[in-house]
């Protein structure tokens, strides 16, 4: 309990943040007016975003302890508590989630024309589950919310998705559920071996046997690698992205994928440090494989949504690369890149959705030459495309630079192996950008295309703001995460160095 800080100024801010969207969703069930449903969902998500602002202003970046902690007994007989709190690793992900959700509502304003009330209910339930996952400090609470995310996302794809929506939604559900089963087994083992407690901080940095750690790590790895998704567990992602409505694709790219990498940082490293040390190297090479595979596959796509979906496989490969080099630059770069990817790729999916609303096609050949008639749109798309491949001055440049620097610290060979991935990102993004803005000699007739309206500009503007804020002034974001990352890595290196010393002593 000495790892927890209870904030007297905002004693229940996290619970308010988590359950306000759920309360909004429950109230909306009793209203049948579609216009009211849109405004209600927008209002609830904006209020949630406003409530999250004091988290940043009152957050103490000088400590690695969990802050804004709330603890209530939940199921006493099983020693299950409702415990929530945040640290430097989770706070930016919470802020990203609260920023994204009102923009997803705006993006769905005219895109969703049927069952609008149910769609908005799904969005708000999703927000509650996502925020809860990043705040949970009890493993049962974490697992319940982790699983709860599957249902509304399954519905978003299966009801409002494209022609192959049933296939995509079922594949998404089965893949993620398969990984979650192994996660549940690991949780139960930890519960039994930690005095029948589900309290997550008490499970960290314990002297579990090497064999137990390896099995626990493999269970964690399967659950989190599918969620990222890492190569070769990625096959559900393109189908889910292509068939999902625009808001669903944004939530998937911006928030859901980060839950896998968050799981590695929150659970795999501190609970199984020895296994992490033993298995980090093959995971690093899997990350390189994902970067290259995502890049080459994206380069071959004519479906714009597939292109961005496969680019996510490559970008998230950089994130896992940064995590498992296990040094400060790499891990800080990975966390920052989680935020950057959420901003940039979320914005790109919004841009593709705006084209789809006008052309009813996701094919690159049908969007060629739009820049002449949609200059505002072309400007937004250009900046987000530059950000996607890490152009200097944009947010992704800072994250990728830190990751590559951290990788050089770990291994020059690995660092050189990931460089072609950055070149591939420039190739497929510039190819898409060139075709959409200028096209070629046989462009389709785009003269009837209307440029972005005020609602669409308002939806994209916050993303562009953060592209440049992080790109030109990333230090405040790095300051927030630095102490928590340093504490994580100091504990990891202290624990693994001790384990290595004991092993050498036994051998000699």
Tens-digit pLDDT profile for residues 121-166:
999 999 999 999 999 999 999 999 999 988 899 899 989 888 888 8
pLDDT of amino acid 365 = 85
Using one digit for the tens of pLDDT, what is the confidence trace for 252-269?
888 988 999 999 999 999
505 confidence band (pLDDT: 50, 70, 90): low
- Calculate mean pLDDT across residues 107-121: 89
Tell me what pLDDT residue 506 has: 56
- pLDDT tens digits for range 365-385: 888 888 888 999 999 999 999
So what's the pLDDT on residue 251? 92
Q: Are 350 and 107 contacting, i.e. CB atoms less than 8 angstroms apart?
A: yes
- pLDDT score recorded for residue 500: 58
Tell me the per-residue pLDDT of 206-237, one tens digit each, with 9 for 90 and over.
888 889 999 999 999 999 999 888 888 888 88
pLDDT over threshold 80, residue 502: no
For 310-326, write each residue's pLDDT tens digit: 998 899 999 999 999 99
Which helix (H) or strand (E) segment is 323 a member of? Answer: helix 304-324
pLDDT at 387: 92
Q: What are phi and psi of 283, to 5 degrees?
A: -70, -35
pLDDT at site 188: 93
Q: How is 29-65 classified by DSSP, letter by letter?
A: TT---HHHHHHHHHHHHHHHHHHHHHHHHH--TT--S
Residue 496: which pLDDT band, with cuts at 50, 70 and 90?
confident
| Residue 303 pLDDT | 87
What percentage of the chain exceeds 70 in pLDDT?
Answer: 97
Instruction: Report which listed range, 2-11, 413-422, 443-452, is most confident.
Output: 413-422
For tokens 């519960």, name the residue.
191
Residues in a beta bridge with 70: 84
State the pLDDT confidence band at 1, using cuts at 50, 70 and 90: low
> Mean per-residue pLDDT for 442-463?
88
pLDDT tens, position by position, 191-205: 999 888 899 998 888
In the predicted structure, residue 170 carries a pLDDT above the cut 70: yes
Give the chain's mean pLDDT.
89
Q: Read off the pLDDT of each residue in 377-401 and give the average, rounded to a whole number.
A: 92
DSSP 6: -
Which residues have C-beta within 8 Å of that of residue 21, sequence separation ≥ 6? 44, 45, 48, 101, 124, 125, 127, 128, 131
> So where are the chain's domains?
1-190, 273-486
Average pLDDT over residues 329-356: 93
Q: How confident is the model at residue 405 (pLDDT cuts 50, 70, 90)?
A: very high
Over the range 63-85, which residues count as b (16 or more CB within 10 Å of their CB) and which as e? Answer: ebbbbbbbbeeeeeeebbbbbbb
Report DSSP state, residue 228: T
pLDDT at 243 > cutoff 90: no
Q: Of residues 207 and 45, which shows the higher confidence score? A: 45
User: CA 131 → CA 19, 239, 327, 379, distances in Å?
Assistant: 9, 25, 27, 32
Per-residue model confidence (pLDDT) at position 2? 60
As a whole number of angstroms, the distance between CA 489 and CA 44 comes to 38
For residues 12 and 487, give the distance between their C-alpha atoms in angstroms, rounded to a whole number.
26
- pLDDT above 70 (res 392): yes
């Amino acid at each position: 309990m000495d790892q927890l800080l209870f904030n007297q100024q905002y004693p229940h801010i996290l619970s308010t943040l988590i359950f306000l969207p759920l309360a909004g969703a429950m109230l909306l069930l009793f209203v049948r007016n579609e216009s009211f449903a849109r405004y209600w969902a927008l209002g609830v998500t904006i209020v949630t975003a406003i409530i999250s602002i004091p988290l940043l202003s009152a957050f103490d970046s000088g400590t690695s302890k969990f802050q804004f902690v709330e603890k209530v007994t939940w199921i006493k007989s099983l020693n299950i508590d409702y415990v929530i709190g945040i640290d430097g690793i989770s706070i930016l992900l919470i802020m990203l989630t609260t920023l994204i959700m009102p923009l997803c509502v705006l993006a769905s304003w005219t895109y969703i024309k049927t069952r609008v009330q149910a769609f908005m209910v799904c969005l708000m339930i999703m927000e509650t589950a996502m925020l809860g996952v990043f705040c949970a400090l009890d493993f049962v609470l974490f697992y319940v919310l982790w699983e709860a995310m599957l249902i509304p996302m399954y519905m978003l794809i299966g009801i409002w998705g494209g022609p192959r929506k049933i296939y995509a939604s079922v594949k998404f559900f089965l893949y993620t559920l398969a990984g979650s089963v192994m996660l549940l087994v690991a949780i139960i083992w930890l519960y039994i071996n930690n005095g029948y407690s589900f309290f997550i901080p008490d499970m960290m940095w314990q002297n579990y046997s090497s064999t137990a750690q390896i099995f626990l790590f493999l269970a964690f790895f399967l659950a989190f690698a599918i969620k990222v998704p890492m190569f070769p567990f990625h096959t559900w992602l393109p189908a889910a992205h292509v068939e999902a409505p625009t808001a669903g694709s944004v939530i998937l790219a911006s928030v859901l994928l980060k839950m896998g990498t968050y799981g590695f940082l929150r659970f795999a490293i501190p609970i199984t440090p020895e296994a992490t040390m033993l298995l980090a190297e093959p995971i690093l090479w899997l990350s390189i494989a994902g970067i290259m595979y995502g890049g080459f596959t994206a380069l071959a796509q004519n479906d714009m949504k597939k292109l961005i979906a496969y680019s996510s496989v490559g970008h998230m490969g950089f994130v896992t690369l940064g995590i498992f080099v296990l040094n400060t630059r790499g891990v800080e770069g990975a966390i920052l890149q989680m935020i950057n990817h959420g901003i940039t790729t979320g914005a790109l999916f919004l841009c593709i959705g705006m084209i789809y609303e006008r052309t009813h096609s996701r094919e690159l050949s049908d969007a060629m030459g739009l820049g002449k008639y949609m200059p505002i749109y072309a400007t937004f798309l250009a900046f987000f495309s530059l950000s996607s491949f890490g152009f200097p001055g944009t947010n992704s440049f800072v994250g990728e630079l830190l990751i590559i620097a951290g990788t050089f610290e770990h291994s020059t060979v690995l660092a050189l192996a990931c460089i072609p991935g950055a070149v591939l990102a420039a190739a497929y993004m510039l190819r898409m950008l060139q075709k959409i803005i200028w096209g070629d000699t046989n462009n389709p007739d785009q003269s009837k295309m209307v440029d972005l309206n005020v609602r669409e500009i308002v939806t994209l503007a916050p993303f562009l703001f953060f592209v440049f804020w992080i790109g030109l002034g990333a230090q405040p974001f790095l300051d927030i995460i630095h102490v928590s990352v340093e504490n994580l890595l100091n504990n990891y290196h202290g624990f693994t160095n001790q384990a290595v010393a004991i092993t050498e002593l036994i051998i000699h």
